[in-house]
Amino acid sequence: MAEKRKVTLKDIAKDLNLSPSTVSRALNGYPSLSEDTIQMVKEYAEKHNYVPNTMAVNFRKNRTSILGMIVPQIVHHFFSTTISGAMETAKKHGYSILLAQSYDLLKDEILASQYLLGMGVDGLLISVSNETKEADHLQAFVDEGKPVVQFDKVTDLLPGPKIEVDDFQGAYQAVTHLIRQGYRKIAHLSGRMEVKNAHERFLGYKKALEDHGLEFRESLVKNCFAISEDEGFEFTRELMESVEKPDALFCITDLVALGAMNYLKSSGYQIPTQIGLMGFSNWMLSEYTTPSLSSVDQFGYRMGSRAAEWMIELLKNQDMGQNETLEMKTELVVRGSSMRS
Amino acid sequence: MAEKRKVTLKDIAKDLNLSPSTVSRALNGYPSLSEDTIQMVKEYAEKHNYVPNTMAVNFRKNRTSILGMIVPQIVHHFFSTTISGAMETAKKHGYSILLAQSYDLLKDEILASQYLLGMGVDGLLISVSNETKEADHLQAFVDEGKPVVQFDKVTDLLPGPKIEVDDFQGAYQAVTHLIRQGYRKIAHLSGRMEVKNAHERFLGYKKALEDHGLEFRESLVKNCFAISEDEGFEFTRELMESVEKPDALFCITDLVALGAMNYLKSSGYQIPTQIGLMGFSNWMLSEYTTPSLSSVDQFGYRMGSRAAEWMIELLKNQDMGQNETLEMKTELVVRGSSMRS
DNA sequence: TTGAAAGCGGTACCAG
DNA sequence: CTGGTACCGCTTTCAA
């Protein structure tokens, strides 16, 4: 490792017969310095391609310009878009993002938090796990004066800035769309009711039915636990084999809808003519199924970007943020699986 | 921001009437220290939950324990798996990963490199962009004694450790499989021949044909430029409308295969009976199409993990690495789109 | 407008 | 086995 020593601020000072403080000031654009000095220093620095030592600056200023970010899983398309959005915005403001995954396990979320805190991040962007029923590990950030901005999946156990998807509205629109397409017995493959997003979607589903004069029936709702493709398949089988036999399915997530689609197709049902199908999240793959899957877009990129923006603003103002929530609207994406007309 | 001052090493030293050096040694498990001292220090540290200041340590040791990682796009499923693999392995060894994207543009790759270098990463893991025809920005890392490990898409312009997918073998196996399924006129939707992976896949395709006594024809090869779904659709149309009319398609990537599949289905072709279809990369969505798409798995997680491991070993040994290549085998994933028997 | 100097929190060398 | 101390590179008072 033939590491050639890099030129430091002191080197410049010595060579230019200035004090380190002057050089520092010149480079950082302080006022009250003669134009000549500034010119000279800048030129010299440029010529010897001086690069300030980030570690020294961080150390001195007691900040890293790094934001921690915890998501359940990077490989989930939605989260990868939020990451992408947060990264771009952060970079624009001179921040970088240190990532960690919780795998939707509280245990791993705690580990990740401690890890990021130890790395000295300036703040935390987090979408909490489904298991998160305590928030001491998040409070730890706040205790050290590091803001926490929650997004997508949030917990009220930690007051502070939150960005949520308007799941209620998204579900309401989706189900309303199904009703307008003429479907009348709309079932819902829901998630766990303790999980806020899932509950909101359920409520949106219910309200849409009621507002359009359709009866809500418990028997048309199935709770997925793992939110898996298999559950989509199995619950759809149960529903289609039951007396209720719905003519449309609104699924908590595209993956579940995919399972439903597989069951329906393998059992010879025609989508969307015989039965309509609707997912949620607008995964990349929804476009590529046959028929393509209608869904609800959550604007992951924008969400990540907003979270980062918010964080940076808090950091700039030395503020921990109020206990306020920003609701992000969703957008219905109508595709083949629900287009009867 | 009510940041309560944290206890430092010096605090401990003062309170315990020891020197900072002793405390440091005790905490870092140095030999030649009395058991008593170690005990005492550790207990005190524990009790006052002392946490070493990462920034100070980094600064002092002139390293960050952060690895830079540049991929074309995080949202690509394959890359998100490599990221995940690299992150887990890095964490296991006390390293974290700072991510950046090149969007397959040289310009952005250079920016990302400079950015990561400026952040003071200890080394770089990179899958280069398709445009990368020079490597000064990577050489810059080497010049500062920071190892660069390339993976997946690599350039020979920078000598050093590389992890490559054995694209040749993967393509060879894929095409051999098609031949065994009885397909005889196998077309190839290839990528840009200047891109190594694409070229290797092309060569594997060609060799498989030759080894099985089938004629290779230029007219059955179409070069995709953007590797897009649209190109898959269009080139498939061209092929199917030409006199050549293949009975199977081997596509450079699953996305292209998807485009091909869409054209074929919309034109009434039966897959896999009339025409066989094969992708490459084994994207998440390949499983969910109808029919499901045969593909070639590239083990992204393992690849990222190996890249990180390699890097950490280099770092440990203060080594920049030789100009050697690790070839990772692929695995054929046979699904509905190519299963005639 | 500039300089001198004190650290930030550790680590590691040199003594003892 | 332990202590003293210089110092990593930069920022920021305080003083001139």
Question: Closest partner residue to B1 among A75, A101, A318, by Cβ?
Answer: A318
Q: How deeply is A52 buried, as exposed, middle or buried, from its count of CB atoms within 10 A (0-12, 13-18, 19+)?
A: middle
pLDDT digits (tens, 9 = 90+) for A224-275: 998 888 899 999 999 999 999 999 999 999 989 988 998 998 899 999 999 9
Q: Is residue B334 part of a domain?
A: no
Q: Is residue B218 part of a domain?
A: yes
**The pLDDT of residue A2 is above 50:** no
d(CA B171, CA B207): 9
More confident residue, A211 or B39: A211
- The CATH number for A172's domain is 3.40.50.2300
pLDDT band at B5 (very low <50, low <70, confident <90, very high): low
Token pair 């403080």 is found at A21
Separation in Å: D6 C1' and A13 CA: 21
Indicate the number of domains in chain B.
Answer: 3
Write out the two tokens for B83.
């990221």
On strand C, nucleotides with any atom < 7 Å from a protein CB are 1-13
**E strand or H helix that includes residue A202:** helix A196-211
DSSP character string of B249-276: EEESSHHHHHHHHHHHHHTT--TTTT-E
Which pLDDT value is given to residue B49?
Answer: 86
Torsion of CA B40, B53, A103, A147, to 10 degrees: 120
Q: Is residue A61 part of a domain?
A: no
Question: Closest partner residue to B80 among A6, A58, A74, by Cβ?
Answer: A74
Q: Bridge partners of B151?
A: B163
Separation in Å: D11 C1' and A25 CA: 9
pLDDT band at B284 (very low <50, low <70, confident <90, very high): confident
Same domain, B173 and B88: no
What number of other Cβ atoms are within 10 A of residue A140's Cβ?
16
Which pLDDT value is given to residue B1?
Answer: 41
pLDDT band at A5 (very low <50, low <70, confident <90, very high): low
Nearest nucleotide to the CA of A56, by C1', is D9
Same domain, B72 and B154: yes
Sign of CA dihedral B279, B285, B286, B290: negative
Chain A residues 155-184 with a CB less than 8 Å from chain B: none
Full residue range of the structural domain in which residue B78 is found: 66-163+300-328
Percentage of chain B surpassing pLDDT 90? 67
Same domain, B17 and B134: no
Same domain, B94 and B210: no
Same domain, A129 and A246: no
Q: Is residue A58 part of a domain?
A: no
Q: Which residues of A touch B318 (CB under 8 A)?
A: 1
Which residue is closest, via its CA, to the C1' of C4? A19
What number of other Cβ atoms are within 10 A of residue B122's Cβ?
21
Separation in Å: D9 C1' and A60 CA: 9
**Could you tell me the pTM of the whole model?**
0.84
Same domain, A245 and A313: no
Q: Chain A: residue nearest B54 by CA?
A: A119
Q: Which residues of A touch B66 (CB under 8 A)?
A: 98
Q: Is residue B338 part of a domain?
A: no
pLDDT digits (tens, 9 = 90+) for A42-78: 998 998 888 899 899 999 998 899 999 999 999 988 8
- Quick check: A57 CB within 7 A of strand C? no
Give chain A's mean pLDDT.
Answer: 92
Question: Closest partner residue to B284 among A83, A285, A289, by Cβ?
Answer: A285
Same domain, A237 and A316: no
**Mind telling me how many Å the CA of A211 is from chain B's nearest CA?**
35
Q: How deeply is A234 buried, as exposed, middle or buried, from its count of CB atoms within 10 A (0-12, 13-18, 19+)?
A: middle
Same domain, A294 and A174: yes
- Quick check: B8 CB within 7 A of strand C? yes
Contacts of A35-43 with CB under 8 Å at 24 or more apart are: A40/A16, A41/A12, A41/A16
d(CA A43, CA B164): 43
**The pLDDT of residue B288 is above 80:** no
Same domain, B196 and B258: yes
Q: Is residue B341 part of a domain?
A: no
Same domain, B80 and B22: no
Same domain, A128 and A43: no
Q: Is residue B336 part of a domain?
A: no
Same domain, A314 and A291: no
Whether chain B has a CB inside 8 Å of the CB on A187: the answer is no
Q: Is residue A229 part of a domain?
A: yes
